[in-house]
């Protein structure tokens, strides 16, 4: 799996979540593994960054490290300041072993996601609560590709 394929997979998961849930799209972690892809929603995902870090640290330790997951996606609804007004978006962050992470977002209108923005490399200091996911991916063993299957 390439980083572009990871981005597409995570964006499709975000679209699926947005379509399945009435109201805000729940925070979720996408784990593409060699045998299957898992999407785990995080009910009651906290507002506080420290508490978010704790939740994702436990998730990474319990799910990513044992599975040897070399990549991940994180999905959450957010509000972005667009000048004069706030815009509701679904944000997708995706990262891979030793490659860092990227962020993209799509506006939410009447429960439907618009087009995702072009992905940008995420500064390592931005969204620090996501660091446990990237750290767990960096620990994974495998080949040169994202999910470690050799091609």
Domain boundaries, the chain: 3-139
Cα–Cα dist 29/52, whole Å: 13
Cα–Cα dist 109/17, whole Å: 14
pLDDT at 146: 58
pLDDT at 141: 81
Phi and psi based region of residue 142 (left: phi greater than 0; alpha: psi -120 to 50; beta: remaining): left
Below-70 pLDDT ranges, the chain = 142-151
Q: pTM of the predicted model, to two decimals?
A: 0.91
Q: Locate all alpha helices (DSSP H) within 43-95, ordered by sequence.
A: 49-59, 65-67
pLDDT at 145: 52
pLDDT at 143: 55
Strands 71-82 and 100-109: unpaired
3-state helix vs strand vs coil in the chain, percent to 5 = 30, 30, 35
């Amino acid at each position: 799996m390439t980083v572009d394929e990871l981005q597409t997979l995570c964006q499709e998961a975000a679209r699926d979540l947005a379509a399945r849930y009435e109201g805000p799209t729940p925070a979720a972690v996408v784990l593409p593994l060699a045998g299957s892809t898992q999407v785990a929603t995080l009910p009651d995902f906290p507002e506080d960054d420290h508490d978010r870090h704790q939740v994702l640290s436990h998730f990474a330790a319990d799910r990513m490290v044992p599975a040897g997951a070399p990549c991940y996606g994180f999905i959450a609804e957010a509000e972005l300041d667009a000048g004069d007004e706030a815009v509701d978006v679904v944000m997708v962050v995706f990262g891979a072993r030793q490659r860092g992470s990227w962020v993209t977002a799509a506006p939410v209108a009447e429960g439907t996601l618009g087009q995702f923005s072009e992905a940008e490399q995420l500064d390592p200091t931005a969204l620090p609560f996501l660091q446990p996911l990237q750290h767990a991916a960096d620990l994974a063993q495998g080949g040169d590709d994202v999910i470690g299957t050799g091609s």
